[in-house]
Amino acid sequence: NRADACNQYMAAWREGRKYYNAHVAKGEDPYLPVLEDMLTDADTAGTLPIGLMEIPMRNIVGTYAAGRKTSFAGNFMPLLDDSSEFAGKWISLCAAHLGSTGITDPITCYEYLGKFYVQEGHKRVSVLRTYGAQGTFFVLGDRIEGNSDILHRGHVECLQWARSLAVCLVVA
């Protein structure tokens, strides 16, 4: 299992480097988008905790904070050398995924305008993506827009309803 996980890391690393190089060549940002960099306190009215749910992997687009930004290419594939501590943890997580344990911990993220940004669990997303996972479980907090237009009010009402039922539908 460990050897398979090491091979998987190297394949993911190559995919990450390919993504990185292609985006740099086009003058584009090769890293994950950072939600905190996109928002100011004036842009939001706080957060609304939603609870545990499953969301489509394709809707996970970035990271909540900049701390993990340069560890991953914009496709969540790793960019750090295979001798790094990061790679060791990624490989161990991958080995658990391949073993009888699997990946059991949910990922913490924020939803903003239909896209999801990971706060905790970047490596879990990365490992699962390398195996083509369609979805994963998240403990979700929703970042709320600060404006008062009708769409925003409807979004808030939907989230409050979802929270009361512990259900949330994600439309892709």
pLDDT in tens, 54-104: 788 888 999 999 988 899 999 999 999 999 999 999 999 999 999 988 888
Asked if residue 64 lies in contact with residue 35, where contact means CB atoms within 8 angstroms, the answer is yes
Kindly report the pTM of this predicted structure.
Answer: 0.81
The backbone torsions φ and ψ at residue 77, rounded to the nearest 5 degrees and listed phi first, read: -85, 145
Asked if residue 67 lies in contact with residue 118, where contact means CB atoms within 8 angstroms, the answer is no
Q: DSSP letter string over the chain?
A: -HHHHHHHHHHHHHHHHHHHHHHHHTT---BPPBHHHH--GGGEEEEEEEEEEEEEGGGEEEESSGGGGGGBBTTS-B-S-TTSHHHHHHHHHHHHHHSSS---S-EEEEEETTEEEEEE-HHHHHHHHHTT--EEEEEEEEEEES--SHHHHHHHHHHHHHHHHT------
Task: Note the pLDDT of residue 141.
Answer: 59
* pLDDT band, very low/low/confident/very high, at 1 (cuts 50, 70, 90): confident
Name which of 65, 99, 59, 93 is nearest 78 in CA terms: 93
Task: Give the chain's mean pLDDT.
Answer: 82
The token duo for 94 is 């991958």
